[in-house]
Homo-oligomer: A and B are copies of this chain.
């Protein structure tokens, strides 16, 4: 009974108002020392559970509604690829990930979302049954751990989405499908609009995009997705979880920020500010996005800014407001900072309009993307 209620919980929240997702697990854990760049396997759920739990908790404090399991790329076929050096199985990782996500989520009545990643089996052209089985294995684990809903993420091929969604729909849980899409469409050149319709037609409750493109590019794509499905009935909810790095120069490049010369070790100067995150939250909401979160590079303070931006619309005060209010809020009004010459630092307007320096006058603001494809399905 109680499970039944939980299973619908995400849809109830979406029906009631904007839902705030969580942010980057893999990138953030990498900076903290618990994930390897370019391996992107969350062994940490088994080897450093405290570190994973702590990060989950920070997203809970930030005001997220949903905690996604730290189970990225953990399909058995990928774990066995050369270079991954992994002695754990998908089941071991995902079980541990579910428990940590649930523990944190329960601290503030949040939901747990079981995440599903694309599989090398699809990329290598294996039989659809083989591909489907990779998803089924993950899903069985999520069923056993009774996550609140499931989401496939970072799929860049609409055909693979369709295979995966078929498996997801077999569970009696809400289903979200999320692709990585820039203005150029999917890996095979299927246009954004067609991807949108086909995602919707899988029967998913939520469709959208995540990763690889920045908030501005992602909102352009979401606007096209929204238009493409305008006449469908029923319509799925919309989701958007972009990267936390500004990269306007790659919006027409299918591989997005992966083609920046700074990827992956030197993206820091592109980091969103809090104001950028506020703006993204506001604009996403106004565009009609129902599920607003972040992917790589979205740290807890970015998710906090989204949750604070929408606290009136959601009727939810993020727990972190005891320490940090929107744009400084009343803390800044009482502080010496409000008296700085030129003034206004205690206001939203100041932070929305402040000129941001990079401190790097010998560097250009934009970088020339590399031309060639990165085969990011490997290693």
- Report which A residues bind B (CB closer than 8 A): 30-39, 50-51, 54, 57-58, 61-62, 83, 214, 245-249, 260-262, 264-266, 268-275, 299-301, 304, 319-320, 323-324, 327-328, 331-332, 334-337, 339-342, 345, 351, 354-368, 370-372, 374-376, 378-379
Query: A264-B337, A361-B366, A362-B367 known; 6 other A-B pairs, CB under 8 Å?
Result: A37-B324, A38-B332, A248-B359, A266-B351, A268-B271, A341-B370
Shortest 4 CB-CB contacts between residues of A and residues of B? A246-B359, A341-B372, A361-B361, A357-B367
Which residue of B51, B299, B376 contacts A336 across the interface (Cβ within 8 Å)? B376
The complex places the Cα of A259 from the Cα of B29 at a distance, in Å, of 32
Number of copies: 4
Instruction: Decide if B261 touches A342 in the complex (CB within 8 Å).
Output: yes
Shortest Cβ distance from A359 into B: residue: B246
Which residue of B247, B323, B327, B339 contacts A359 across the interface (Cβ within 8 Å)? B247
Instruction: Decide if A360 touches B365 in the complex (CB within 8 Å).
Output: yes
6 pairs, CB–CB < 8 Å, chain A vs chain B: A30-B324, A33-B58, A245-B359, A261-B355, A334-B379, A362-B368
The complex places the Cα of A324 from the Cα of B38 at a distance, in Å, of 10
Instruction: Decide if B38 touches A335 in the complex (CB within 8 Å).
Output: yes
Instruction: Decide if A356 touches B363 in the complex (CB within 8 Å).
Output: yes
- Distance of A302 from chain B, by nearest CB (Å): 9
The complex places the Cα of A249 from the Cα of B366 at a distance, in Å, of 13
Instruction: Decide if B357 touches A364 in the complex (CB within 8 Å).
Output: yes
The residue in A246, A266, A374 that gathers the most chain B C-beta atoms within 10 A of its C-beta is: A266
The complex places the Cα of A374 from the Cα of B304 at a distance, in Å, of 27
Inter-chain contacts of A345 with B (CB < 8 A): 265
- Distance of A184 from chain B, by nearest CB (Å): 17
Shortest Cβ distance from A82 into B: residue: B334
Which residue of B265, B301, B355 contacts A364 across the interface (Cβ within 8 Å)? B355
Instruction: Decide if B33 touches A304 in the complex (CB within 8 Å).
Output: yes
Instruction: Decide if B358 touches A269 in the complex (CB within 8 Å).
Output: yes
The residue in A261, A271, A273, A274 that gathers the most chain B C-beta atoms within 10 A of its C-beta is: A261
The complex places the Cα of A375 from the Cα of B337 at a distance, in Å, of 9
Instruction: Decide if A262 touches B335 in the complex (CB within 8 Å).
Output: no
Inter-chain contacts of A36 with B (CB < 8 A): 323-324, 331
Shortest Cβ distance from A59 into B: residue: B33
